[in-house]
Structure 1
Amino acid sequence: MRGEAAAWAPGPAQAAALLEEAADLLVLHRDFAAALERCEAGCDSLGPGHESFAEVKCSLCVVGIQALAEMNRWREVLSWVLQYYHAPEHLPPKVLELCILLYSKVGEPQAMLEVGSSWLSAQANQRLPELGWLLELYVAQVLLPLGREEGAEELLRGCAALDAERRRALLGAVGQSRRRAPPERTRPAAAEQREPAPDTVLGVLSQKLLTVLTLLRRALRSMSNHFYLLPYKKMLLATFLLYLVVVRLDPASPTSLPFIYKLVQLFRQAWAAVLSPIHRPPIQD
């Protein structure tokens, strides 16, 4: 199957097939190096002119981040994603979120200081619905652990994406951080030099992400078998539903797992609806 998928024409179809392979290798075979290789090949195949399939590229990067974390190569994550997006402000919200969580978990929030600042200040990102959440995450996981309360207050007061009540609550958290800062931010030198344990690094993306990827693999298998039959609008619909399952879903949320299964059911129903009766694949519960 992998040989046939790799022989597809370059572009979105090939990237979708490589995404399926990467998820399969990561979740089922635990071959993280091979999964990373498929992600890189998929991102390379989505060159200029495929902006409509940015969701597939983002999903490839999500799988690639997980593969790097599994191999305890977390230091390479930021440079790895930036080679495909070229500038911090171009990172998709989900990729930025995972990078913030990862570097915060391993005790290196300073790695995301400039990246997060560039993304949050970019004009193109000001209307994104994820702006408020990413600002909160950046403040909590990057600025406050680094003792940058003044910068956090400035960001919070200037963000139009936050309502007044949420802004007051976050400013209160910044004030509490300032009052308790000295004892909590002092870390022993030995702790700073200690290499993060592999299981700590892997925990940042959560076991639920592996569940998402398993479901993704099944959906993509059906998708890849019929990709060439879909006209452009139907292809976009399938990609959008895939985006709902993988990119817009927070796998760390305690309530996410039932929602994943509901989305997969929705994906199956929509998939059956957009295909003609002649080519409609069987839907199995």
Structure 2
Amino acid sequence: GEALAWSPVSGQAAALLEEAAELLVLHRDFAGAVERCEAGCDSLGTGTGTDSSAEVKCSLCVVGIQALAEMNRWREVLSWVLQYYHVPRHLPPKVLELCILLYSKVREPQVMLEVGSSWLRDQTNKSLPEYGSLLELYLLHVLLPLGRFEGAEELVRGCDVLDSEQQVAFLRTICESRSQWAQQEEMHLPTEEQQDAGAETVLGALSQKLLTMLTLLRRALRSMSSQFYLLPYKKMLLATFLLYLVVVRLDPASPTSLPFIYKLVQLFRQAWAAVVSPIHRPPIQN
């Protein structure tokens, strides 16, 4: 692939991103990771900048979100990212996605109610390829768990990005959720204490799964580090780490996501095979 041509500012932010990811993954220094992310975002300023600087800023926020969650400071996440993007409609899709999932996992979906609505109403965002999947995420993890069935139906019916088949499928999901909601109200629900304990367990399992996966990746990469002819070890680790964070939206704790993770590992192996194949290897220097 082509090497990214960093501007001096983007290069500085990218170096801070690499440091932040290393602190998070290798050293588990979550506070240090957040500090590097903040320094990186501050160095990029408030403007939109180039595509490369926007991508670095988004990645800094992704690492920062995970670090804050690891310190159980998830309540700060939304205000933390909004200090760099100012208004919800400017949030990158990856950042919005992680925020929706995080507040869903800690059973606080109402935090994302207005934020998600504002983002989805924005005309510029409607042209993004991720719009449909984010609308579905907002529907399943925010509106339906809060019992906002009328709002969900209005959102789906008023969305010109969805085709008729998608609209019918979403409306059917809303109808099923409404029925389940009515049934649950007739039954005895678990106490709030049990729900809170469940939320902590889920978040803990998610973090543990992430750290286990990254530890395995780190060991595999270290064992092959002597063969890194084309890509520095830390950059490969960082790229894999950021890619894995995006996969979190499929919830690694869920059996349905396992085939996707296996495919991800296979793709990684194929990419690695291409990198170290004899054709790509530089001649050995005496």
Structure 2, unaligned runs of 5 or more: 1-6, 222-227, 252-256
Indicate if the aligned counterparts of 2:25 and 2:211 stay in contact, CA closer than 8 A: no
Structure 1, unaligned runs of 5 or more: 1-8, 228-237
In structure 2, the partner of 1:95 is: 95
In structure 1, the partner of 2:22 is: 24
Give the AA of the match of 2:12: Q
Cα deviation, residue 81, structure 1 = 0.5
Does residue 255 (structure 1) correspond to residue 255 (structure 2)? The answer is no
In structure 2, do the counterparts of structure 1 residues 102 and 45 end up closer, same or farther at CA, with 3 Å as the change threshold? Answer: same
Rounded Cα–Cα distance in structure 2 between residues aligned with 1:83 and 1:114? 17
Indicate if the aligned counterparts of 1:19 and 1:60 stay in contact, CA closer than 8 A: yes
Cα deviation, residue 17, structure 1 = 1.0
In structure 2, the partner of 1:146 is: 146
Indicate if the aligned counterparts of 1:212 and 1:245 stay in contact, CA closer than 8 A: no
Indicate if the aligned counterparts of 1:16 and 1:224 stay in contact, CA closer than 8 A: no
Cα deviation, residue 190, structure 1 = 3.6
In structure 2, do the counterparts of structure 1 residues 125 and 214 end up closer, same or farther at CA, with 3 Å as the change threshold? Answer: farther
Indicate if the aligned counterparts of 1:72 and 1:198 stay in contact, CA closer than 8 A: no
Cα deviation, residue 180, structure 1 = 2.7
In structure 2, do the counterparts of structure 1 residues 119 and 74 end up closer, same or farther at CA, with 3 Å as the change threshold? Answer: same
Alignment of 1:62-81 (within 5 A): 62-81=62-81
In structure 2, the partner of 1:158 is: 158
Indicate if the aligned counterparts of 1:208 and 1:257 stay in contact, CA closer than 8 A: no
Q: 2:37 aligns with which of 26, 31, 39?
A: 39
C-alpha root-mean-square deviation of aligned residues, in Å?
A: 4.0
Indicate if the aligned counterparts of 2:144 and 2:174 stay in contact, CA closer than 8 A: yes
In structure 2, do the counterparts of structure 1 residues 214 and 57 end up closer, same or farther at CA, with 3 Å as the change threshold? Answer: farther
Q: 3-state DSSP class of the match of 2:145?
A: coil
TM-score when normalising by structure 2? 0.73
In structure 2, the partner of 1:232 is: none
The structure, 1 or 2, with the larger RCO (C-alpha pairs under 8 Å, 6+ apart) is: 1
Cα deviation, residue 178, structure 1 = 1.7
Indicate if the aligned counterparts of 2:143 and 2:149 stay in contact, CA closer than 8 A: yes
Indicate if the aligned counterparts of 2:105 and 2:199 stay in contact, CA closer than 8 A: no
Cα deviation, residue 183, structure 1 = 4.8
Rounded Cα–Cα distance in structure 2 between residues aligned with 1:212 and 1:128? 30
In structure 2, do the counterparts of structure 1 residues 197 and 151 end up closer, same or farther at CA, with 3 Å as the change threshold? Answer: closer
Deviates more, 1:260-269 or 1:116-125: 260-269
In structure 1, the partner of 2:193 is: 191
Give the AA of the match of 1:257: I
Cα deviation, residue 146, structure 1 = 1.0
Indicate if the aligned counterparts of 1:23 and 1:214 stay in contact, CA closer than 8 A: no
Rounded Cα–Cα distance in structure 1 between residues aligned with 2:67 and 2:242? 21
Indicate if the aligned counterparts of 2:107 and 2:199 stay in contact, CA closer than 8 A: no
Give the AA of the match of 1:254: L
In structure 2, the partner of 1:201 is: 203
Give the AA of the match of 1:201: L
In structure 2, do the counterparts of structure 1 residues 105 and 160 end up closer, same or farther at CA, with 3 Å as the change threshold? Answer: same
In structure 2, do the counterparts of structure 1 residues 259 and 188 end up closer, same or farther at CA, with 3 Å as the change threshold? Answer: closer
Aligned residues: 258
Give the AA of the match of 2:203: V
Q: 3-state DSSP class of the match of 1:11?
A: helix
In structure 2, do the counterparts of structure 1 residues 108 and 248 end up closer, same or farther at CA, with 3 Å as the change threshold? Answer: closer
In structure 1, the partner of 2:123 is: 123
Q: 3-state DSSP class of the match of 2:258?
A: coil
Q: 3-state DSSP class of the match of 2:127?
A: coil
Alignment of 1:236-247 (within 5 A): 245=243
Cα deviation, residue 214, structure 1 = 8.7
Cα deviation, 1:32-76, whole Å, max 9, x if unaligned, reads 111111111111111233454211111111111110110001100
TM-score when normalising by structure 1? 0.73
Cα deviation, residue 202, structure 1 = 4.2
Rounded Cα–Cα distance in structure 2 between residues aligned with 1:132 and 1:213? 33
